[in-house]
Structure 1
Amino acid sequence: MRSVLEKLGVRTINELLGVDIGTTSIKVCLLKRTKEGFKIHKYAKRSYEQDLLHDGTVVDGAFVAGQLKHLLNEQGIKVKAAATALSSYTVITKRVTMPFLDKETLEQSIGLEVESVIPYPLRDIYYNYYVMGAEEEKDSTMNLLIVAAKKEIVDSFMKVFSLAGLNLLVLDVDIFAVTNMVERIHGPQQFSVVAADIGASVTNIAILKGENIEFTREILIGGRYLTNEIAKAHRVDRSEAEEKKLVHGNEVQELVDDFVGNVSSEINKTVNFYVATKPRETVGKIYLTGGSSLVPGLKERIERETGIEVAFLDPSMFLTTNGTGLTLDENDRFFMPVALYLSSRVSDLEP
């Protein structure tokens, strides 16, 4: 991704449109900066019956671009500078340790390091890296996080923004956006914390220690699986199945319980694996977000199974309480963290 972003150059940007393209939905958010912080100027969400993404790649760029343009026109959004995020399960992240190098030497040698840890030729990927700091036990070495994605995936997103008449200036990763929001709102804590983004097709899990992501995992199960199971079992369309899922009665209890049990079990396994590999660490909090975290009973089941306090991530805590900005509806708080955080990255574009 480095070569994509470097071509963009540095420019003065006052507003940045956050666009979160999910498997079955598009979310947009536009923040305004004030002296006290950010406030919401515009936000919107639209869901679709068909899949917008397949294996992280945009299925029909022209369709998604058209829908995005229509959504922006409905909201009266004229801003052209945009940010978006790739699905984390399509991105390869590797944490590596290297001898301390100056910036110029690191730039010259990073390609060899990328080739050694990423299972694709350099010609097929975009990549970036972040210096995370010194290795705790070896002052002469530093930790780097290498992030890479296949060009075909990145290019499918770039095509959408080009067709929509937008300038894509920031390309992030969805779980990085969520973890950064957790850190911005709650700050570094003495214990490790889990962020779980439970979406339509994938559950993304990250474990943070201080300001660093220590572990990530993707589980290929999300709320759409439960919706489809309810639709099949009760011979209803997906919209009715979605309603039954979120406000369920005894007729779908067994299906909901199975889904809740599967997600909770996988989160518990992730926590146990992390603690087993880092015996000196403890996990003190789990933050949930994503539309499928709304499934009744899921929060309580995770709390009971892990023995760890569970809370919903509230992106409104990221915003200033002063001024006349919009407020997020109760349910929208579960869908908007990524788009909201992406819009806040306008701060990163300052010269």
Structure 2
Amino acid sequence: MLFFGKKIEPIGLDIGSTYIKLVQLKGSDRHYQLVKYGMVPLPPEVIVEGAVMDSGRVVEAIKELLAKHKVKTKEAVISVSGSAVIIKRIAVTDMTDEELAESIKWEAEQYIPFSIDDVNIDFQKLGPGAMEGQADVLLVAVKKEKINDYVNIAKEAGLEPVVVDVDAFALENMYETNYDMGAGTVALLNIGASVMNINILKDGLSAFTRDITVGGNRYTDALQKDFGMTSEDAERVKRGEIVEGSDQEQIAGVVASVTEDIVAEVQRSFEFFRSTTGSDKVDQVLVSGGCTRVGNFTQVLSERLGMSVEIANPFQNIKVDAKKFGAALLETGAMAAVAVGLAVRRQGDR
């Protein structure tokens, strides 16, 4: 399966740990129109930190989503993230793409903490390296077991997965589709239920990527532990709803504490980016995912980072029928960043 391969005309299917999101677009080259959009919840513990615990329930949910939105297209782009994904920017001797394709496996061995036989590898040349005769290459390795799990789920749901992408790169595609890819440094954060994807772009190229196993489930776990809430009530609290019989002041304290923990992870990642790349400035922060729906999360993130933080709009530059999709996008649009990034994959674009 390709990570950087050709773009086709599929549905984008983001299989998360609490929701499965679906986006279908028509058009190409930054001129897209929304055709299908929807999401369906998954029961707790069906997918844990990206690992599939109950594939049957996931297949059922995908079938339900496809039927509800009358999706006819069988081709799908899916994605993976988490600890089974390794992304590194490396320097190699400058060579042709064909030569690099032959040698990348041996280049990769020194950077990958898994057996080279257990992973699928892809790469993308970014340009000349810092030293003469070198090239900068973005190396991607994903455990075959992880890819097979997600591919098999899609197939069992009646789909044909034509590309397996990586969440961090789907974010980049979403950004490129909806925003101006100019000079400067932009941090893309997608904070889902169990995994946070970070992709920091410098002058339009990916300079730093990281997946961290932290996300909105931290709120759910804390609320269940401290107040004995059901997962459904915990989700309502995260959306700002009041649960009858609960102490709002105590709940607010727990939510604020978890927010600080997640924000601290972002701060550490930014510090790591600065120390490993020599960059000292992030010009823009765009955040997506379910955590954007939690209280004052983006405000706290902005205060701790000392810069403005904007909630991403994955449909900003996409033609949308407001009567058909308006209400759904207003409520959940920021959760669809990865799905949009998958849905823009088109044939012939590497």
Unaligned runs of 5+ in 2: 242-247
8 A Cα contact 1:41 1:326, kept in partner = no
Match of 2:70 in 1: 76
Alignment partner of 1:59 out of 16, 29, 53:
53
The secondary structure found in structure 1 opposite 2:194 is coil
Match of 1:333 in 2: 333
User: Residue deviations 1:26-78, cap 9 Å, x none?
Assistant: 11111122798111111111112223323423223233222211211111111
Match of 1:197 in 2: 190
The secondary structure found in structure 2 opposite 1:123 is helix
TM-score normalised by length of structure 1: 0.89
The secondary structure found in structure 1 opposite 2:17 is coil
Alpha-carbon offset, residue 23 of structure 1: 0.9
8 A Cα contact 1:36 1:320, kept in partner = no
TM-score normalised by length of structure 2: 0.89
Q: Which amino acid aligns with 2:61?
A: Q
Match of 1:150 in 2: 143
8 A Cα contact 1:189 1:209, kept in partner = no
Match of 2:343 in 1: 343
Alpha-carbon distance in 2 for matches of 1:229, 1:96: 39
Alpha-carbon distance in 2 for matches of 1:74, 1:240: 25
Q: Which amino acid aligns with 2:63?
A: K
1:303 paired with 2:302, answer yes
Q: Structure 2 matches for 1:29-68, cutoff 5 A?
A: 29-33=23-27, 37-68=31-62
Alpha-carbon distance in 1 for matches of 2:250, 2:322: 46
Greater mean deviation of Cα atoms: 310-319 or 260-269? 260-269
Alpha-carbon offset, residue 116 of structure 1: 2.4
Number of aligned positions between the proteins: 343
Q: Which amino acid aligns with 2:339?
A: A
Greater mean deviation of Cα atoms: 239-248 or 256-265? 239-248
Q: Structure 2 matches for 1:130-169, cutoff 5 A?
A: 130-135=124-129, 137-169=130-162
Alpha-carbon offset, residue 130 of structure 1: 0.8
Alpha-carbon distance in 2 for matches of 1:238, 1:325: 30
8 A Cα contact 2:34 2:319, kept in partner = no
Match of 1:223 in 2: 216
Q: 1:183 to 1:88 in 2, by over 3 A?
A: farther
The secondary structure found in structure 1 opposite 2:319 is coil
Q: Which amino acid aligns with 1:308?
A: M
Unaligned runs of 5+ in 1: none
The secondary structure found in structure 1 opposite 2:344 is helix
Alpha-carbon offset, residue 310 of structure 1: 0.5
Q: 1:100 to 1:350 in 2, by over 3 A?
A: closer
Greater mean deviation of Cα atoms: 303-312 or 114-123? 114-123
Match of 1:101 in 2: 95
8 A Cα contact 1:97 1:144, kept in partner = yes
Alpha-carbon distance in 2 for matches of 1:53, 1:93: 22
User: Residue deviations 1:311-348, cap 9 Å, x none?
Assistant: 00001113036898744521211211111221111x23
The secondary structure found in structure 1 opposite 2:108 is helix
The secondary structure found in structure 1 opposite 2:88 is strand
Match of 1:115 in 2: 109
Q: Which amino acid aligns with 1:50?
A: P
Question: Once the two structures are aligned, what percentage of the paired residues are identical?
Answer: 27
Match of 1:24 in 2: 18
The secondary structure found in structure 2 opposite 1:337 is helix
Q: 1:318 to 1:341 in 2, by over 3 A?
A: farther
Q: Which amino acid aligns with 2:203?
A: G
Alignment partner of 1:209 out of 202, 205, 224:
202
